[in-house]
């Protein structure tokens, strides 16, 4: 048994048979109480939790003691996962979507062509940039990521992807309307499917952006006899192409474009290299393999009483890296 010094010079026991462990005289019951306080408000700092803990058990505790007890009981200070704010109708729509696709076989998921647009700024990157520095180097010039308020201009990128790989991308300026969107589809969608050698009729996925729901757009899909996947509103986190945008943003951060022309050229080059790559997205060697591989189908999570989806290890589920249990809530 290890013996140290805890509060007020009292011995600190690593563990004993009396139920006293960690920082004496705090017990297992005290730890459970602390965990309950954390679950009431997960953003509370340690000094506030220390005050609340004292009110509940009458024992004085420091911020460092609170952090040690929480680490011993697993809750750690982590960045919260960002997800869209969902209304009751959004949750209902997601539930209906999950019930609709939960029995789809792998062959049908391979028919789905995911698409989306992304706005990219010259300076401002969406992903956090990590550097190695000491505490005193915080404000050194080489430790600062410089950004501008307006991002020094931006471009839009449309792209599509399926189990078979990346389709043809399109870079555009300004906001996207129905007329421009139809032009992008005419110039890129059909050619992308021919390039990806889609054998069976494909199912086209798009979100519910206003330019996607215009009357002219609906008529275009009807004329082309293209079936669209009914997608729940406010659900970008369910689209596996978001993995592509995150990866592209990280690649751009490595290069650091300094103008709109550079941003267009570098973005096209990065996408073109993998668009023409002989590696399929379903192979583990491809940088985007995580978008189409996973240990289980995302809909296996039992948030809405859905049955487990029969995908084995490394099954090529298009949504495996995107859909998670919290994402469905």
- Please, what is the Cα angle at 283 between 280 and 286, to 5 degrees? 75
If you ran DSSP here, which 8-state letter would residue 53 be given? Answer: H
Residue partners of 264: CB distance under 8 A and separation at least 6:
155, 171
Cα gap 189→278, rounded to integer Å: 20
Q: What CATH number does the domain containing 114 carry?
A: 3.30.420.10
Lowest-confidence region among 2-11, 71-80, 157-166, 320-329:
320-329
**Same domain, yes or no, for 15 and 65?**
yes
> What Rg value do the Cα atoms of the chain yield, rounded?
26
Domain ranges, residue 311: 89-328
**Same domain, yes or no, for 130 and 33?**
no
Residue 86, φ and ψ in degrees, nearest 5: -110, 135
Average the pLDDT over 234-263 and give the result: 87
Q: Which carries the bigger pLDDT value, residue 135 or residue 244?
A: 244
18 alpha carbon, distance to own chain's centre: 45
Cα gap 70→23, rounded to integer Å: 12
**Same domain, yes or no, for 62 and 12?**
yes
Whole-model pTM: value is 0.67
Establish how many alpha carbons lie within 13 A of residue 199's alpha carbon, considering only the half-sphere containing its beta carbon: 5
- Is residue 290 in some structural domain? yes
**Same domain, yes or no, for 25 and 127?**
no
- Is residue 172 in some structural domain? yes
pLDDT at 151 over 60: no
Average the pLDDT over 230-234 and give the result: 91
- Is residue 82 in some structural domain? no
Return the pLDDT at 127.
65
pLDDT band with cut points at 50, 70 and 90 for residue 93:
very high
- Is residue 84 in some structural domain? no
Q: What total number of domains does the chain contain? A: 2
Q: Is the peptide bond before 25 cis (omega within 30 degrees of 0)?
A: yes
Q: Which carries the bigger pLDDT value, residue 316 or residue 16?
A: 16
């Amino acid at each position: 048994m290890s013996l140290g010094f805890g509060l007020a010079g009292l011995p600190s026991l690593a563990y004993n048979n009396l139920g006293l462990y960690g920082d004496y005289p705090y017990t297992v019951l005290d730890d459970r109480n602390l965990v309950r306080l954390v679950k009431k408000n997960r953003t509370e700092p340690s000094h506030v939790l220390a005050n609340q803990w004292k009110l509940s058990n009458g024992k004085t505790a420091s911020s460092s003691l609170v952090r040690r007890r929480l680490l011993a009981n697993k809750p750690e200070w982590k960045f919260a996962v960002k997800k869209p704010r969902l209304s009751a109708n959004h949750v209902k729509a997601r539930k209906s979507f999950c019930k609709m696709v939960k029995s789809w076989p792998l062959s049908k998921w391979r028919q789905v062509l995911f698409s989306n647009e992304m706005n990219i700024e010259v300076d401002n990157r969406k992903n956090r940039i990590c550097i190695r520095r000491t505490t005193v180097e915080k404000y050194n010039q080489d430790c600062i990521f410089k950004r501008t308020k307006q991002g020094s201009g931006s471009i839009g990128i449309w792209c599509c992807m399926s189990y078979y790989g990346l389709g043809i991308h399109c870079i555009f300026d300004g906001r996207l309307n129905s007329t421009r969107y139809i032009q992008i589809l005419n110039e890129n969608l059909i050619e992308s499917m021919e390039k990806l050698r889609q054998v069976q009729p494909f199912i086209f996925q798009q979100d519910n952006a206003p330019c996607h729901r215009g009357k002219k757009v609906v008529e275009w899909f009807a004329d082309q006899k293209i079936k669209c996947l009914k997608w729940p509103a406010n659900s970008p986190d369910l689209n596996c192409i978001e993995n592509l945008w995150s990866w592209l943003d990280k690649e751009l951060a490595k290069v650091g474009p300094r103008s709109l022309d550079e941003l267009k050229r570098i973005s096209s080059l990065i996408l073109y290299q993998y668009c023409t790559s002989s590696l399929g997205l379903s192979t583990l060697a491809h940088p985007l393999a995580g978008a189409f591989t996973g240990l289980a189908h995302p809909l296996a999570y039992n948030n809405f009483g859905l049955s487990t989806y029969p995908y084995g290890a490394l099954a090529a589920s298009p949504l495996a890296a995107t859909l998670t249990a919290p994402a469905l809530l």
